[in-house]
């Protein structure tokens, strides 16, 4: 590749990153259907549900299959509720050690190129959509836990898929569909009041 081609390639990546930044910086809320796929150690786990995000740092992941669970943050406190186990785990967002936490940049928390070092096109990865582009980079957040992040971006500068790869090669993939932007979302959706009889456990690890 010539120096001119290299320069054009780098500018293309920078321009795409800036377009994604501009798109998400103007958002106040984001709602979507999601599919979460984990692949590692010969196993695969697929879960699905709905996602609601609201500035600043509010998240609601409502899992509906294969079993119900709820991951909610009001921007400061995080709850992970497992109805089948009658248990809710609670921590602060600052102490959170969870793959869902870096996804706050979906609401324009910061610049993409500040979040991911060495941002480049993942030409060896096939996008889900034929006109989409896949970028990859090394995340600044969660060092030692996530070694690479891949983002699939559509023609509207929306992130439709995120893949988080750990140092052992295991991957957690989030696919987003039916994206709805800047619709009104009540703040009450990001608070959790444990039902009667539910045990509350404090801790930074909220998985699985």
Q: Read off the pLDDT of residues 98-126 as tens digits, 9 standing for 90 and up.
A: 656 656 667 666 688 888 899 999 989 99
Q: What is the pLDDT of residue 114?
A: 87
CA 30 to chain CA centroid, nearest Å: 12
Distance CA 59, CA 47 (A): 17
Residue 208 lies in a domain: no
Distance CA 203, CA 92 (A): 9
- Which CATH number fits the domain that encloses residue 161? 2.50.20.10
Q: Which domain holds residue 166?
A: 3-202
Q: What is the pLDDT of residue 200?
A: 78
Q: Answer for the pair 162, 150: CB distance below 8 angstroms, yes or no.
A: yes
Residue 179 lies in a domain: yes
Q: How many CB atoms lie within 10 A of CB 164?
A: 22
Average pLDDT, the chain: 85
Q: What is the pLDDT of residue 102?
A: 55
Domains: count for the chain: 1
Structure tokens at 191: 């608070």
Structure tokens at 45: 């786990």
Q: What is the pLDDT of residue 12?
A: 87
Residues in the chain predicted with pLDDT less than 70, given as ranges, are 1-11, 96-105, 107-110, 203-208
Residue 207 lies in a domain: no
Q: What DSSP state is assigned to residue 190?
A: G
């Amino acid at each position: 590749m010539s120096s001119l081609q290299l320069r054009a390639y780098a500018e293309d990546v920078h321009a795409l990153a800036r377009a994604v930044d501009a798109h998400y910086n103007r958002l106040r809320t984001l709602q979507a259907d999601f599919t979460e796929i984990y692949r590692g150690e010969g196993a695969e786990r697929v879960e699905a549900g709905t996602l609601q995000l609201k500035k600043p740092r509010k998240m609601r992941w409502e899992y509906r299959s294969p079993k119900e669970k709820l991951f909610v943050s009001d921007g400061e406190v995080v709850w992970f509720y497992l109805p089948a186990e009658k248990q809710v785990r609670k921590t602060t967002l600052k102490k959170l050690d969870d793959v869902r936490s870096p996804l706050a940049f979906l609401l324009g928390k910061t610049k993409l190129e500040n979040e991911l070092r060495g941002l480049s096109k993942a030409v060896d990865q096939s996008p889900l959509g034929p006109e989409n582009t896949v970028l990859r980079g090394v995340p600044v957040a969660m060092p030692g836990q996530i070694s690479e992040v891949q983002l699939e971006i559509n023609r509207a500068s929306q992130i439709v898929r995120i893949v988080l790869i750990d140092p052992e090669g295991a991957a957690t993939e989030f696919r987003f569909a039916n994206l709805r932007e800047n619709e009104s979302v009540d703040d009450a959706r990001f608070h959790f009041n444990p039902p009667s009889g539910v045990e509350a456990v404090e801790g930074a690890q909220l998985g699985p």
